């Protein structure tokens, strides 16, 4: 029976530690990682307040949408067919995105155009706290961060 030598064990231990530390250094050194990649859902009248914002005054449905948040603060939101059934987009002409970390809203993007078909694309860079636990993204009508018409989730 062959037993590993002390030298081999120390070498393997050092290699494992270097791998772990190297991975940590790469993230800490500025490489951006994904914090969130999630589908968007339209708000409905039974939705609760989220991160200090209340749901819109009408139910919203969405054909498809996604939010992505990177550790460098890059936020991307794509919306396709975010509408009030039977109404369209109503008075909403622009949308912004609010980013939440650690249970609170931490940043809101500038507003971008919102088409009559309920389509929009937001790409911005926001400042995130050092730790961003439980990240989420809300979509705000007409740049009003106190109201959301869509949010990440299912």
Whether pLDDT at 122 is above 50: yes
Instruction: Provide the phi-psi class of 6: left if phi over 0, else alpha when psi is between -120 and 50, else beta.
Output: alpha
Architecture of domain 32-152: Sandwich (2.60)
For the chain, give every domain's residue range. 1-31, 32-152
| Residue matched to tokens 């007409």 | 142
pLDDT confidence of residue 27: 44
Residues 41-68: pLDDT tens digits? 999 999 999 999 999 999 999 999 999 9
Q: Whole-prediction pTM value?
A: 0.80
pLDDT of residue 23: 37
Looking at residue 30, what is its pLDDT?
64
Q: Which residue has the higher pLDDT, 32 or 70?
A: 70
pLDDT higher than threshold 50 for residue 8: no
Ramachandran angles phi, psi of 82, nearest 5°:
-85, 105
What's the pLDDT at 31?
A: 77
């Amino acid at each position: 029976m062959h037993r590993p030598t002390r030298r081999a064990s120390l070498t393997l231990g050092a290699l494992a530690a270097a791998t772990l530390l190297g991975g940590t250094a790469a993230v800490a050194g500025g490489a951006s990682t994904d914090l969130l990649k999630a589908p968007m859902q339209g708000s409905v009248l039974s939705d609760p307040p989220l991160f200090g914002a209340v749901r819109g005054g009408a139910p919203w449905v969405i054909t498809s949408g996604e939010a992505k948040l990177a550790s460098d603060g890059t936020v991307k939101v794509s919306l396709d067919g975010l509408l009030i059934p039977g109404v369209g987009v109503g008075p909403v002409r622009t949308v912004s995105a609010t980013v939440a970390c650690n249970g609170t809203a931490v940043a809101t993007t500038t507003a971008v155009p919102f088409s009559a078909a309920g389509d929009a694309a937001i790409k911005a860079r926001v400042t995130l706290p050092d730790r961003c636990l439980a990240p989420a993204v809300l979509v705000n009508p007409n740049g009003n961060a106190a109201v959301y018409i869509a949010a990440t989730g299912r």
